[in-house]
């Protein structure tokens, strides 16, 4: 390789220029991440992803189901492992005998169902993979009532567009409770169930007892645990910070298909 | 513009004989010729391009290739750094249908990648995902435009498809690369065979693969044909392969930049910015 004084100084200049530019760009990206506009611009990608995922697969496409051989030895618990809430603890102490699932909001027939009543309904059992937004996954066997069956009982009003899950677990010192929401495509999906059993046993507290939702074509944070109430709404703008879920309010995507 | 550059490009390629007859010693870097100042000289029927060619520089990269190249570079940088941010949320790689199969992790990085390598700098998964999933679209869109352009403009057929003599010269090209010797004169006007094969592998192998393995991580896209991710051993295998393929791209970029540095960094950079590339005389360094 030829080198001359001029070449060397040009090279050094170029090197410094590149390093300086890279550092400035990185600082810029970091600052932009904290701005109000950038997340909105990048949100275009989220909308494109949502549209593309819906184009690529049908509304009722099924998530892969596995065999017992694929079950994870232990189903990982993430997020809340035991809600720090006296009311919940009192319900748990009594094996959730006094717990009632309320279904209300934009429905013609509000419902209140006990765990025994839910377990008496026709159930679906599925072995599916739970994909966490963090990147890990676990395979478990879930048994529960199809959400579609409960919605048919409650009969949504024409204005209803979303199903909101209100949960028992407080997420911060202020007592903000976990919540999540899905649209009717996912609510009526055959694999969307309200699960009360995991791997053939009653759902453990660490995994969301007495009831958690399974939304098999989305990421784990959509699958609310410790469900107390299901509310049908026309918009979730007035719930929490208005983004449709606890993690959505922290900047995660509402549609968690990827 | 596209048609003009295509004509320009083909013309300049058709004149190596004229160029080769000149015995120029080392050609120093001349003031950058702007496209505008060069183009009229290359108008069909004009003999002026021969003069240009004899002065040792020609129009190497068409404008679309240059623009797409730099968009691709920016997108890959952002995808890598935001990808490492996402990786840090669970800095473990597994093989199989889930992370918890009963077998040990494939790879583990206790503290994840340092924050200076991630985008954003601190731990911020939600924002890392926004960057990543936005620029994934940039990469895909840019790549599609590149492939369509390369086929339509015959960039693919002319410059990237190896010729018969290319295939025969593989052995020599490997030796030349190992000895850090680079083609000069007429031979420097086109990509060498290893370069062609590497670009083709990256464009049609590695990049589609890394994108496909990204899709495999989507529970919704996994439902398009339930079980398709088992082709690579399952979803967590796909995540591992996505990671490995990303580093294979980094390895490509490092080798690519190394080759750029040792084969005339200013000339190479200029050709990817303005399109002009100057060629040294063969006689300065006889290869055979």
Query: Could you tell me if B217 and B239 are in contact, meaning their C-beta atoms sit under 8 angstroms apart?
Result: yes
* pLDDT for position B40: 38
What is the pLDDT confidence band of residue B281, given thresholds at 50, 70 and 90? low
Concatenated DSSP letters of chain B: -HHHHHHHHHHHHT-HHHHHH----PPPPPPPPPHHHHGGGGSTT-SHHHHHHHTTEEE-S-HHHHHHHHHHHHHHHHHHHHHHHHHHTS-EE--SSSS-SSSPPSEE-TT-S-GGGSSSSSS-HHHHHHHHHHHHHHHHHHHHHHHHHHHHTTHIIIIIS--HHHHHTHHHHHHHHHTT----GGGGGS--HHHHHHHHHIIIIIHHHHHHHHHTT-HHHHTSSTTGGGGGTSHHHHHHHHHHHHHHHHHHHHHHHHHHHHTTHHHHHHHHHTSEEE---GGGS---
B210-263 confidence digits (pLDDT tens): 999 999 999 999 999 999 999 999 999 999 999 999 999 999 999 999 999 999
**What's the whole-model pTM score?**
0.86
Residue B145 confidence (pLDDT): 98
First to last CA, chain B: 39
Q: Which residues pair with A153 in a beta bridge?
A: none
Q: What is the ipTM of this complex?
A: 0.93
Contact between chains at A56 and B219 (C-beta distance less than 8 A): no
Chain A residues touching residue B125 (CB < 8 angstroms): 133-134, 252
| Over residues A190-203, mean pLDDT | 98
Give the residue with greater pLDDT, B17 vs B276.
Answer: B276
The residue ranking higher by pLDDT, B174 or B44, is B174
Q: Which of A44, A73, A258 sits opposite B221 (nearest CB)?
A: A258
Cα separation of B268 and B146, whole Å? 20
Task: Name the pLDDT band for A5 (thresholds 50, 70, 90).
Answer: low
**Segment B178-194 mean pLDDT:** 91
**Residues of chain B contacting A133 with CB distance shorter than 8 Å:** 89, 125, 129
Cα of A222 to nearest chain B Cα, Å? 12
């Amino acid at each position: 390789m030829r080198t001359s004084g001029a070449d060397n100084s040009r090279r050094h200049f170029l090197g410094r220029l590149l390093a300086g530019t890279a550092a400035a760009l990185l600082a810029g990206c970091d600052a932009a991440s904290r701005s109000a506009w950038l997340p909105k611009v990048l949100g275009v990608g989220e909308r494109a992803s949502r549209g593309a995922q819906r184009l690529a697969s049908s509304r009722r496409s099924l998530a892969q189901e596995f065999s017992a051989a694929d079950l994870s030895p232990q189903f990982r618990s993430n997020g809340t492992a035991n809600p720090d809430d006296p009311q919940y603890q009192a319900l748990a102490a009594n094996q959730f005998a006094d717990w009632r699932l309320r279904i209300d909001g934009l429905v013609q027939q509000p419902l209140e169902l006990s765990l025994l009543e839910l377990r008496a309904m026709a159930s679906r059992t599925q072995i599916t993979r739970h994909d966490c937004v963090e990147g890990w996954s676990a395979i478990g066997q879930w048994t529960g009532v199809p959400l579609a069956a409960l919605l048919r009982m409650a009969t949504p009003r024409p204005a209803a567009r979303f199903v909101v899950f209100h949960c028992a677990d407080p997420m911060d010192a202020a007592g903000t409770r976990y919540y999540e929401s899905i649209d009717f495509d996912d609510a009526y999906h055959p694999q969307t169930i309200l699960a009360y059993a995991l791997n053939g046993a009653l759902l453990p507290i660490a995994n969301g007892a007495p009831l958690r939702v399974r939304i098999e074509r989305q990421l784990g944070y959509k699958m609310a645990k410790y469900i107390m109430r299901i509310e049908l709404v026309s918009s979730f703008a007035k719930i929490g910070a208005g983004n449709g879920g606890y993690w959505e309010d922290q900047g995660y995507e509402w549609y968690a298909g990827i | 513009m596209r048609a003009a550059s295509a004509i320009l490009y083909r013309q300049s390629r058709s004149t190596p004989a004229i160029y080769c007859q000149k015995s120029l010693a080392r050609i120093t870097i001349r003031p950058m010729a702007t496209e505008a100042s060069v183009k009229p000289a290359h108008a069909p029927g004009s003999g002026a391009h021969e003069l240009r060619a004899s002065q040792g520089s020609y129009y190497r990269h068409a404008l679309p290739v240059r623009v797409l190249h730099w968009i691709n570079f920016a997108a890959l940088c952002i995808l890598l750094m935001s990808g490492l941010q996402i990786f840090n949320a669970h800095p473990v790689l597994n093989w199989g249908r889930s992370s918890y199969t009963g077998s040990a992790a494939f790879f583990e990085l206790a503290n994840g990648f340092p924050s200076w390598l991630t985008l954003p700098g601190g731990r911020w998964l939600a924002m890392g995902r926004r960057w990543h999933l936005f620029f994934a679209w940039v990469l895909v869109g840019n790549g599609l435009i590149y492939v369509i352009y390369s086929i339509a403009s015959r960039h693919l057929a002319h410059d990237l498809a190896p010729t018969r003599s290319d295939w025969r010269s593989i052995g020599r090209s490997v030796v030349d690369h190992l000895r850090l010797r680079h083609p000069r004169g007429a031979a420097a006007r086109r990509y060498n065979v290893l370069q062609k094969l590497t670009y083709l592998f990256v464009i049609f192998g590695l990049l589609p693969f890394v994108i496909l393995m990204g899709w495999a991580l989507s529970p919704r896209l996994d439902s398009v044909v339930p079980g398709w991710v088992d082709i690579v051993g399952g979803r967590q295998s796909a995540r591992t392969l996505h990671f490995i393929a990303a580093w294979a791209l980094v390895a490509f970029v490092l080798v690519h930049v190394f080759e750029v540095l040792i084969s005339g960094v200013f000339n190479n950079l200029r050709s990817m910015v303005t399109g002009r590339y100057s060629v040294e005389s063969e006689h300065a360094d006889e290869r055979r």
